[in-house]
């Protein structure tokens, strides 16, 4: 087993105010690479299962304390594997301790509010581990590609996001954001597989093909969004995701190490219960 690289190498450099042009580029990350693979698919699956059990324990501690909150944000192009990651990484975690929030195209009521309104209402409560399956970042990406959000408005939204995430962090929320990074070729393979299997058509939306035509525009919007919103309190990580197994292991490792830095423990025993006999 080769020495594992540092997770920090996949962290998007933190945004610095006044510094307009971050040198960060998505092209520096090979979607097909498997830096956190343990060597084989089998050993990766074993590792994932091992991490899953540890995540279950960490989540129970989080819940027992009812103090801190953990938020995992998952973003990525269509077919990048957001659903699959959730299924695989959290298989061993007690469903009682998880809350998964999918963000779809906003409804008229949601659109009648500011873009963070619906997101704020879903922020994790004390003791919760919450996963955003897509998120407020869609409100940067989609309108940018559609041309309805100009550069100034984009920057304003990024500033609002940084401030919103700072509020969550200051209130005890640990935030980790993952961009599942696939190649354009891998997306073609996955979309084609869905089309070629009629039983999978229900997973397929024709708009996915439209979005694919805007691949470069989305990649560019992702780059700008990540560069402007990666902070020490809410860092972005780029997850090479052409390999599903690698993607799962890397997200799981990242989450576990983040949990470990919190040094969560169970609350102390209650003195008042000592020697109590139930009648």
Q: How near is the Cβ of 240 to a second copy at its closest, in Å?
A: 22
Q: Does 102 bind a second copy (CB under 8 A)?
A: yes
Q: How near is the Cβ of 98 to a second copy at its closest, in Å?
A: 6
Task: Enumerate the β-bridge partners of residue 231.
Answer: 234
Q: Does 51 bind a second copy (CB under 8 A)?
A: no
Encoding tokens for residue 258?
């983040």
Q: Does 103 bind a second copy (CB under 8 A)?
A: no
H helix or E strand, kind and range, residue 228? helix 215-229
What residues between 175 and 214 interact with a second copy by CB under 8 A? 188, 191-192, 195, 198-199, 201-204, 206, 209, 212
Q: Does 109 bind a second copy (CB under 8 A)?
A: no
3-state secondary structure of 79: coil
Closest CA to 84 of 264, 234, 242: 242
For residues 39-50, one letter each, b for 16 or more C-beta atoms within 10 angstroms of the residue's C-beta and e for the rest, the string is eeeeebeebbee
Task: Enumerate the β-bridge partners of residue 74.
Answer: 133, 178
What residues between 60 and 99 interact with a second copy by CB under 8 A? 64, 83, 86-87, 90-91, 93-96, 98
- Which positions ≥6 away from 191 have C-beta within 8 Å? 78, 79, 204, 208, 209, 212
Q: Does 104 bind a second copy (CB under 8 A)?
A: no
The nearer residue to a second copy, 146 or 193, going by C-beta atoms, is 193
Residues that bind a second copy (CB under 8 A): 64, 83, 86-87, 90-91, 93-96, 98, 100, 102, 133, 188, 191-192, 195, 198-199, 201-204, 206, 209, 212, 266-270, 272-273, 276-279
């Amino acid at each position: 087993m080769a020495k594992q690289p540092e997770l920090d190498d996949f962290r998007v450099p933190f945004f610095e105010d006044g510094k307009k042009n971050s040198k960060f580029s998505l092209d520096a990350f090979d979607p097909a690479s498997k830096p956190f693979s343990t060597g084989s698919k089998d050993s990766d699956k074993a590792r994932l299962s091992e991490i899953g059990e540890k995540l279950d324990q960490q989540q129970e501690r989080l819940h027992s304390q009812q103090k801190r909150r953990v938020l995992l944000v998952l973003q990525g192009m269509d077919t990048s594997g957001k659903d699959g990651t959730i299924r695989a990484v959290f298989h061993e975690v007690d469903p009682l301790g998880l809350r998964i929030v999918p963000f779809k195209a906003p409804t008229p009521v949601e659109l009648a509010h500011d873009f963070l309104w619906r997101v704020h209402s879903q922020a994790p409560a004390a003791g919760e581990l919450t996963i955003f399956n897509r998120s407020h970042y869609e409100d940067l990406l989609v309108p940018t590609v559609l041309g309805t959000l100009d550069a100034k408005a984009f920057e304003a939204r990024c500033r609002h996001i940084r401030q919103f995430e700072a509020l969550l962090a200051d209130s005890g929320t640990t935030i980790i954001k993952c961009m599942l990074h696939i190649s354009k070729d891998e997306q073609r393979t996955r979309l084609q597989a869905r089309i070629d299997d009629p039983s999978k058509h229900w997973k397929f939306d024709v708009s996915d093909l439209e979005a694919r035509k805007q691949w470069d525009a989305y990649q560019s919007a992702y780059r700008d969004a990540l560069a402007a919103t990666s902070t020490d309190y809410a860092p972005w990580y780029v997850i090479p995701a052409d390999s599903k197994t690698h993607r799962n292991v890397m997200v799981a490792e990242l989450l576990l190490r983040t949990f470990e830095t919190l040094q969560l423990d169970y609350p102390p025993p209650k003195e008042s219960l000592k020697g109590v006999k139930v009648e």
